[in-house]
Amino acid sequence: MAGGTSSATSTLAKGAAILGAAAIVSKLLGVLQKVPLQNIGGDEAFGIYSIVFPFYTLILFLATAGFPVAVSKFVSEAIQQGQDEETGHILLSAFVVLTGTGLLFFAVLFFGAPGIAYLIGNDQTVRSIQSVSLALFFVPVMAALRGYYQGKQNMVPTAASQVWEQFVRVGTMLALLWWFHQADFGHDWVAAGATFGSATGALAGLLVMIYYHRKYVRQRRKQQVEEHVSASLGHVSSRPRISKYWIRKLTQYALPICLGAIVVPILNIADTFTMPRLIAAQGYTAAAAMKEYGIYARGLPLVQMVAMLFSSMSVALVPAIAASRAKGSVRGVQLQARTALRLTWLVGLASSVGLCLLATPINGMFYTNTMGSDTIRILAFTIMFSVTNIMTASVLQGMDAVRIPALHLMIAALMKVALNLLLVPVYGIQGAAIAAVVSFGTAAALNIRSLIRMQTITLKWKMDMGIPLIAVAAMALVLQGWQWLLQLLPLLEMGWPARATATLTSLTGVLIGAVVFVIVLITMKGLEPEEIRHIPGLRFRQSRGKVKP
C-alpha cells in the first residue's frame, strides 16, 4: 500500500506540475493582455472589460455545470475498477449535455445583453457581452474533453490547449485593439475587441483537444490490431453510446460543484452590480465611475495569476483523491491533501505579502501610472485566502463532500455584497478590496474547519503557522531594505524612465523575496520530508533520518 501511495502522489505531483506550468504561461499571457488594454484603451475601456468578464465566467460555469470535474472523477474511478469501456460512454454523455447547455447560455448572454447592461447601469457594456458570448459555442465541449483526459491522469492535452487558447486569445485582442485604436473607435468597441478574444481562444483550445483525442483514438485502434486478442478486441472496440445512467449520475455530481464554482464569479459580479452605482452615488459620472472601477480592477489580474495556478493544480487533485478513495487508501488521501494544502498556503502567504510590499512598483510596471496602489496592497491578501479556498474545495470535492464548499462560498458571496454596501460609500474602491479579503478569508476558514472535522487534515501550528510567518517576516524586512536601497540610487537622474525603474524594482524584488522566503523556510525545516520528496523535478533520498538532495 505504501508503494501505491507514493506512486499516486508522484502522479499527482507530475500532473500538478504540468498543469501548473501551463497555468503560469497562460495566466501570464492573460495578465499581459490587460496591460496594452489599459495602456492604449485607458481605464474606462479596462473598466468595461473588467465589468463584463465576470458575466462570461458565471455563464461559463453554468454552461459546464461542474461537468469537467465530474467527468474526471468518474473516468478515474472507472479505470481503477477496470471498466475502460465506460469511459467512452461517460465522455459522450457529457458531450451531449454540455453542447445543449452551451447553446442555451449563449442565447441567454447574446440576446439578454441589453437587459444585463441595464442592470449594470451602463449601456456601453452591450457589445462586450455579446462578443464574449460566442465563446460558449466551443468552451463546453472543450471542457468535457479536458475532464476526460484529466480523469486518465494525462494532463498534457489540457495544458497544451490552455496555452494555445491563451495565445490565440491574446493575439486576437492585440490585433483588434490596434485596429480599433487606429480607427478611433469608442471605449465600448475597444472592450468588445478584447472580449472577442475569448471566442477565438476557445476555438483554438477546442481544436487542440480534438487533435489529442483523434491521436489517442488512432493509437487505441492500432493497439487493438497488434494485440490479436479477440476477447479484448470485442471489449475495447464497442462504440461509445449516450447513457441516461451517466447523464443522470454526472448531473447529480456536477450540479453541487456548479453551485460552488459560480460563487467565485458571483463575488466579482457583486462588484459589477454594486460598485458602479455606489461610486456614482458619490458624485461621479457614469464614465468616471467606470474609470474608477478600472483602477480597482488593476489588482485583480495580479491576484488571479496565482489563483489560476492553483486552480489548474486542483484539477489534478480531484481525480487523484478519488482514485485513492476507490482503493481504500486513507493514508493516500491524507498525504495528497496535506501536501497540496501546505504548498498552497506557503506560496499564497508569500505571494500576498510580496505583492503588498511591491504594489506601487508592480502597478507602475504594468500600467501607465500608479493610481490604485493602496487598493492593490489590500487586494494582495485575497491571494492566500483564495488559493487556500480553491485547494480545500478540491479536496472536499474529491471526498464527495461537494455541497460543503458551495455553501461556504455562498456565505462569502452574501458577505461580499453586504460589506460592499457598507464599506464602498465610506472608503471607495479600497472598501471593496477589504470586503474581498474578508469574504475569501471566511470561505477558506470554513473549508479548513470542515476538513479537520472529517479528519482529512491536521494542523501543526509550528509547521503551518509559526515557521511560515517567520519566513515571510524575514522576506518582508529584506524587501523593504531592497526598495530603500534602490531609492538611494539616482536612477531617474541618470535618465532611467519611471517605468523602467518600477520594472527593475518589481522583478528584482520578486526574485529576492522568493529566495529569502525559501532559504528561511528550509533552514528552519519548515518543509516536511514527504512534501519535499514529491516536489516535481526534484529527487531526494533518505539518509540517517534526514532528507537530502
Instruction: Let me know: does 389 contact 447? Beta carbons within 8 Å.
Output: yes
CA distances from 465 to 380, 426, 444, 472 (A): 19, 33, 15, 10
- Residue 545, sorted as left (phi over 0), alpha (psi -120 to 50) or beta, turns out to be left
Give, in order, the Cα–Cα distances in Å from 117 to each of 166, 292, 410, 419: 27, 18, 24, 23
Is the pLDDT assigned to residue 72 strictly greater than 80?
A: yes
Mean pLDDT, rounded, for 323-338: 72
Residue type (1 letter), 514:
A
Q: What pLDDT does residue 535 have?
A: 47
CA distance 294 to 187: 12
Residue 403 Cα to chain centre, angstroms: 20
Q: Which pLDDT score is estimated for 231?
A: 44
Tell me the mean pLDDT in the region 504-520: 92
Signed CA dihedral, 219, 220, 224, 227: sign only? positive
Helix axes 330-357, 299-327, angle to 10 degrees: 170
Q: Band of the pLDDT at 516, cuts 50, 70, 90?
A: very high
Residues sharing a CB contact under 8 Å with residue 547, sequence separation 6 or more, in sequence order? 529, 532, 533, 540, 541
Q: Would you say residue 184 has pLDDT above 90?
A: no
Residue 329 vs residue 468, higher pLDDT? 468
Mean pLDDT of the chain: 80
**Tens-digit pLDDT profile for residues 115-141:** 888 877 778 888 889 998 899 989 888
What distance in Å separates the CA atoms of residue 127 and residue 131, rounded to the nearest whole number?
Answer: 6
Residue 444: what pLDDT?
A: 92
Give me the mean pLDDT over the 432-452 stretch. 92
Of 46-60, 66-80, 487-501, least confident by mean pLDDT is 487-501
Residue 270 has pLDDT above 70, yes or no: yes
Name residues whose C-beta falls within 8 Å of residue 5's C-beta, 6 or more positions apart in sequence.
324, 329, 331, 332, 335
Decide which of 304 and 246 is more confident: 246
What was the pLDDT predicted at 155?
Answer: 78
Amino acid at 230: S
Q: What is the pTM of this model?
A: 0.70
Whose CA is closest to 356, among 330, 337, 382, 395? 382
**337 contacts: CB under 8 Å, gap ≥ 6:** 321, 395, 451, 456, 457
pLDDT over 80 (residue 380): yes
Q: What is the pLDDT of residue 22?
A: 62
* Percent of the chain with pLDDT strictly greater than 70: 81
Q: Tell me the pLDDT band of 541, cut-offs 50, 70 and 90.
A: very low
